[in-house]
Amino acid sequence: MLCDVCKTANASVFLTQIVDGKMQKVNMCEACSKERGVTDPTAFALADFLQGLGGAQEVEQLGGGQPQQKCGTCGLTQMEFKKTGRLGCSDCYSTFADGITSMLSGMHKGSSHTGKVPERLAKRIERDRLLKELQQHLKKAVAEEDYEEAASLRDRIKELEVVV
């Protein structure tokens, strides 16, 4: 078995860690394991390391194991994503959404963006958020048989939808 890092020497250090109920494995040769500080297990986080390897092992779980799944916009397959750790285009994020979401949660501080929003999208995003909120209120109003409230909510939703 070859070392996952240098891919030349034979692996002699086998590391398994369970993080968030997921098992992750790395095989390394002695030189690479020393270099990465694997000898001290407390200081070594496998997750960080996998991230450095392009999340190769994580990617395997993507999309429920359909290696032939393909992005409709750019034609990237799951196999290719797995190989390079890079996506083909911005639409790949929705094509491979399931797998990417779980991959991101192990990679980043949070799972949703809280930073800058492009100006031209800011309005639309705010409107979508408001629309969602109103629809939830509408559901609630209907469930509570508050038809007066429901009617006014329905009108506001219609108004917002017209702006599209």
Partner 1 sequence: MPIRNILNKTSDWLGGDGPHHQIVVSSRVRLARNIQGVSFPGWAKKMERVETMERIRPQVEALPEMGDAFSLPCQELSALEKQVLVERHLISREHAARGAGSAVVMNRKQNLSIMINEEDHLRMQAIRSGLQLKAAFKAVNKVDTELEASLDFAFDPNLGYLTACPSNVGTGMRASAMVHLPGLVLSEQVNQVIQAVNKIGLAVRGLYGEGTEALGNLFQVSNQTTLGESEEQIIERLQKVILQLIEHEQNARLSMLQHRPTTLLDHIGRAYGILKHSHSMASKEALNLLSLAKLACDLEFYPEAWRVAVDELFMETQPAHLQKGSQQKLGPEDRDVLRARIIREKLAECPSPAGEAVLSRIPKAASTKRKKAAGDDLLEG
**Binding positions for partner 1, rule: CB under 8 A:** 43, 48, 51, 54-55, 73-74, 76, 80, 84-91, 93, 100, 103-104, 107-121, 125, 128
Burial level of 121, CB count in 10 A (0-12/13-18/19+)?
Answer: exposed
Residue 2 or 125: which CB sits closer to partner 1?
125
Residue 68 or 112: which CB sits closer to partner 1?
112
- Minimum Å distance from CB 73 to partner 1? 6
Backbone angles phi, psi at 96, to 5 degrees: -105, 30
Backbone angles phi, psi at 2, to 5 degrees: -90, 155
Long-range contacts at 70-76 (CB < 8 A, ≥ 24 apart): 70/95, 71/95, 71/96
Contact at 8 Å (CB) between 46 and 62? no
Residue 35 or 144: which CB sits closer to partner 1?
35
- Minimum Å distance from CB 155 to partner 1? 25
Contact at 8 Å (CB) between 103 and 59? yes
**What would you report as the CA-atom Rg of the chain, rounded to the nearest whole angstrom?**
23
- Minimum Å distance from CB 146 to partner 1? 30
Residue 132 or 140: which CB sits closer to partner 1?
132
- Minimum Å distance from CB 55 to partner 1? 7
Report which DSSP code applies to 111.
Answer: S
Residue 55 or 150: which CB sits closer to partner 1?
55
State the amino acid at position 146 in one-letter form.
D
- Minimum Å distance from CB 2 to partner 1? 19
Contact at 8 Å (CB) between 49 and 69? no
